[in-house]
A and B are shown apart, each in its own frame.
With several copies, the nearest count.
Chain A
Amino acid sequence: MFRRILIANRGEIALRILRACQELNVETVCVFSEEDRGAEYLRLADKAVCIGGPAPRESYLKSDRLIAAAEVTGADAIHPGYGFLAENGQFAEKCRACNIEFIGPSVEAMKLLGDKASARVIAKKNKVPTVPGSDGVLEDDNETITIADQIGFPVIIKASAGGGGRGMRIVHDKTDLLAALKQAKQEADGAFNSRDVYIERFIDRPRHVEVQIIADQHGHIVHLGERDCTLQRRYQKLVEESPSPALDHRTRENLCAAAVKLCKAAKYYSAGTVEFLVDTKSRFYFIEVNTRIQVEHPVTEMVTGIDLIKTQIRVAAGEKLDFDQRAVRPHGHAIECRINAEDPNERFRPCAGVVEKFRPPGGVGVRVDSYGHDGCRVSPRYDSLLAKVIVHQPTRPEAIRTMQRCLKEFVIEPLKTTLPLLRRVIAHPDFHDGTIDTGFIERTF
């Protein structure tokens, strides 16, 4: 096991990793930016090191400073958390070149699965379903027509350089295809200075379901079931749950098996997540792999009873998984809500300032992961995630009820947060019925 781990992150995930290290009897070094100086969670670390200015690129994204901090404090491993450098292969490579273990997958696996295009190739090779599409830039109109016919309508045209909806066109009928293609190329050119577009099958009203993987460096790989993260606001997950209310037993088995197959093919170890879209007919399509721990990992911890961060650290230290697939028996239902410091009336602009009153909920089956407390500061420079409320109950209706109770109980003043929105979302009959899709929040609220 490692002697001392440097935690290259901040806020709730830094605290989460710190607690895991302490339970493994590993010393901790926390880094902080000048903006985070004095944060209470730093008090719990064995050492705390200022690494730079408030802006992420001056501190938490500065790989050399992080490695230097590990060197001067004698840390033999770095946990990157999520965000910042967690999926940066070069950083992982640099760490290991300096004899500091990067707690995550091998650089090879990160590159293979972390890159969308390469992951898609591996998926296809291993018969993991992907969204049918052009597999690259469309060259001419005739090719487009041929491919669209193969894919089947409706299709969606997307800008290769794009994101956020710009340059996208949904085409329901072949006769509209070429006109839409022209428009999409023009839009892509205007927005991204590139006319490159590709097409995919358009998945209407999909659910977002992902599979948690954990694997050691000795070839043992298991999945820990799925998380349903369909409840999103502008591609940001807001509510996650496990098991998915929309999967039947067989789809679940196939989905998890596909995720394992993909990771095995890439010789993946550490914790990772394989993300899928599931359509209204329970067909699933691989979209991407997150080669790190995720914000919503506690949902899986609650239903499986397995501490993902501790396990991730153990396998990084070369230990074998001490459980196999049969020993993973999820029970009950868990839901997580993300409480962001954002103003719903100001188009969810992050709110910053001092939290004067912070009263998290408690009780049976309730966990709150947060760095919050009376008097804590929320910085405008970083992710607005202030707290995660996770509940675990025997059944989904009970879990929903407990979450409602918790959201009612939670007091954060005076900052605006997503609490009021979440209260409405969790109380909505469509959420209870499990009949939502990824566009639910935009359509409904």
Chain B
Amino acid sequence: MMVTNDLIELSLRDGEVEVSLRRPNPKGHEAVMMTTPMMAHPAMHSPVAVSPPAVDGKLPGDVVDVEYHEIRSPMVGTFYASPDPDSPPFVQVGSPVGPSTVVCLLEAMKVFSEIKAETSGTIERILVRDGEAVEYGQALFLVRPH
């Protein structure tokens, strides 16, 4: 089913593959802006400021002024962490990524699109689970820039 070659061609045709990166908060605040997952109540959709250490105890260090990047979904679809059920995920927490590193697949209307990091750094957090539905603009990964 997951014929990656086809998918990229198709998705490019639809102009769907694009990654939007969230710039750090202009006020230099330590918070990272996040959108909540699609299934949540829409009233909760507005971006929520979260201090990174509070989000996940595993976040390394206590440096509060790290500016994380987000890899956000350029489309509506289903998130797949690995190229197929028997393969390891494209990336894991701690994986280094570059602009062209494929980080996940998104499926919509039976078309699979490879999503690239479009930024450099280390995967700090994976924000959605394998098989989860994602909406446009939803944050998928937090990346700690080099």
Which residues of A does B touch, CB under 8 Å?
A: 30, 32, 34, 37-38, 42-43, 45, 47-53, 59, 64-65, 67-69, 71-73, 98
Scan B26-54; emit 1 where CB is below 8 A from any A CB, else 0.
Answer: 00000000010011011101100000000
Q: Total A-B residue pairs with C-beta atoms closer than 8 Å? A: 71
Whether B136 lies near A47 (C-beta < 8 A) is no
Leading 6 A-B pairs by shortest Cβ distance: A48-B42, A68-B108, A72-B133, A42-B42, A68-B76, A50-B135
If the complex has contacts A50-B137, A51-B135, are A68 and B77 also in contact, measured as CB distance less than 8 A? Answer: yes
A34 and B64 alpha carbons, distance in the complex (Å) = 28
Given contacts A50-B136, A64-B14, A72-B77, 7 further A-B contacts (CB under 8 A): A50-B76, A52-B136, A65-B136, A69-B76, A71-B109, A72-B133, A73-B38
Whether B78 lies near A72 (C-beta < 8 A) is yes
> Which of B75, B76, B108, B138 has the most chain A CB within a 10 Å cutoff?
B76
If the complex has contacts A68-B76, A71-B109, A72-B78, are A50 and B46 also in contact, measured as CB distance less than 8 A? Answer: no
B16 close to A (CB within 8 Å): yes
Please tell me the size bucket of the interface on B. Answer: 20 to 34
Q: Which of B16, B41, B45, B77 contacts A37 (CB 8 A)?
A: B45
Whether B38 lies near A50 (C-beta < 8 A) is yes
Whether A50 lies near B16 (C-beta < 8 A) is no
Across-interface contacts of B137 in A (CB, < 8 A): 34, 50, 52
A51 and B39 alpha carbons, distance in the complex (Å) = 13
A68 and B78 alpha carbons, distance in the complex (Å) = 9
Q: Which residue of A lies closest to B11 (CB)?
A: A64
Whether A73 lies near B45 (C-beta < 8 A) is no
Whether B108 lies near A71 (C-beta < 8 A) is yes
Whether A51 lies near B76 (C-beta < 8 A) is yes
Q: Which residue of A lies closest to B74 (CB)?
A: A52
Whether A38 lies near B109 (C-beta < 8 A) is no
Whether A49 lies near B38 (C-beta < 8 A) is yes
Across-interface contacts of B135 in A (CB, < 8 A): 49-51, 69
A445 to chain B, nearest CB (A): 27
A64 to chain B, nearest CB (A): 6
A71 and B38 alpha carbons, distance in the complex (Å) = 13
27 pairs across A/B with beta carbons < 8 Å? A37-B46, A43-B42, A47-B39, A48-B42, A50-B45, A50-B76, A50-B135, A50-B136, A50-B137, A50-B138, A51-B76, A52-B137, A53-B136, A64-B16, A64-B108, A65-B75, A65-B76, A65-B108, A67-B109, A68-B75, A68-B77, A68-B108, A71-B109, A72-B76, A72-B77, A72-B108, A98-B109
If the complex has contacts A68-B76, A68-B77, are A73 and B133 also in contact, measured as CB distance less than 8 A? Answer: yes
